[in-house]
Structure 1
Amino acid sequence: MLPIFHRRLERVRQRQENRDLVLYRRHLRDHSNPFDIPVERFIELYRLNKELARYVINTISPVMAQGVYGNSIPNLIKMFASLRFYATGSYQRDIGLAYLVSLSQTSVRRCIQQVTQAIETTIAIHEVTFPTSEIEHNRIKHSFMDKFGLPGVIGCVDGTHMPFPGQPEKLIIFIIERATIL
C-alpha cells in the first residue's frame, strides 16, 4: 500500500511543478520586451534590426487574431518566437526555453504557423519576387558569378542556395552553406 501512496504523491507533486512552470513562463513572457535588449544582441538573435522588426509586427498584426483569453500569447511575442525560429531554423530547446519568449515548444510551433501565414498574406505578396524571364535569370546568374564565383545561381535565401524546379536537362550545382553576406 505504501508504494502506491508514494506514486500518487509523486504524480501530484509533478502536476504542481508543471503548473508552477506554466505560471513562471507566463510571467516571464508577459513582462519581457525584446525591443529592450541592446541592438547588437537583437540583430544576433533575430537577424533583423529593430526598425525592420517593428515594420513586420505593424504590418502583420492587423491580420493576426489576438486571443480572447487572458493567458493568450501576445502577437509581439508570437512574432519574436517566429523570428528566432527563422534565424536559427530550430524551435526546440533554443526557442522553447529562451528567456526572451518563454514558451513551450508546442506554443512556439503554433506561433510560427500563425506568423508565417500572416507574413505570406501581407509582406511576402509585395516584397518577395522571383525572376520570371530568361533575361532576368541570365542577369542574376552573371551577377552571382561576378560577385561570388558561383555559376548558375538565380537566387538564395540567407546565404543558403535552394533548388527551384527548372529545366532537368541543365546541370544544377547547389552549395548549401549557412552564412550571412552583409
Structure 2
Amino acid sequence: MMKKALFVLGFSILVLHSYSQDQPVLLKDSTFIEAEEDAELFEEVSELNPQRAALLSAILPGLGQVYNKQYWKVPIVLGGVATFAHFISYNNKVYHGLRNAAILQSKNLPNPYQSIISSESSLVRNRDTFRRNRDLLIIIGSAFYLLQIVDAHVSAHLDEFKVNDRLALGIEPSIQSTPLFSQAVGVSFVLKF
C-alpha cells in the first residue's frame, strides 16, 4: 500500500513538472493568446507608494488620504481626531477639578463642587469615572489614529487593482418552496461576475 502511494505521488509530481514548462498565457482584451518570446507581460504598477501614504498619515492625520486622492475621507479623519481630542481634554479638565475638590474636601476646606456634590465619597466616585472615561478615550483615539494610518496604507496598495465592471452584488426578491407545500417569500443576494 505504501509503495502505491509513493508511486502515485511521484507520478503526480512528474506530470505537474512536465506541464510547468509551457509558455505563459496572457489575457488580452478578454481573450486568451499564446505568449510569444517578444511579448511583454502584463504589469500595472501603481503610482502610489503605500509606505509614503502611511508615513504621511502618521505625520498628519488625513494627509495619507490626500496623497491617495481620497479627499472625501479627510473630513471624517479630521472630525474624528478633533472629537477625540475635545472629549479627552474635557474629561481631563473635569477629572483634575474633581481630584482637587476631593483633596480640599478631605482637609475640610471649601471646594468649588461643594454646592453640587456634598460627600467626599461622591467626589471620589465622580473623579474615578472621569479618569476612566479619559483613559478609555485615549485608548479608542489611539486605535482610531492607527486605523487611519492602516486605511491610507491599504488604499495605496489597492489603487493598482481594477474592478471588473461585470462584478456586482444584486438584491432580488425570491420565492422558495418549503417542505410543507407552501411558499416563502424572501430576499436573495445574487453575486454576478
What's the TM-score bracket when you normalise by the shorter of the two chains?
Answer: under 0.3
Report which of the two structures shows the higher radius of gyration computed on alpha carbons: 2
Higher strand share: 2
TM-score normalized by the length of structure 1: 0.23
Which fold has the larger relative contact order, with Cα–Cα distance below 8 Å and residues 6 or more apart in sequence? 2
Normalised by the length of structure 2, the TM-score is 0.22
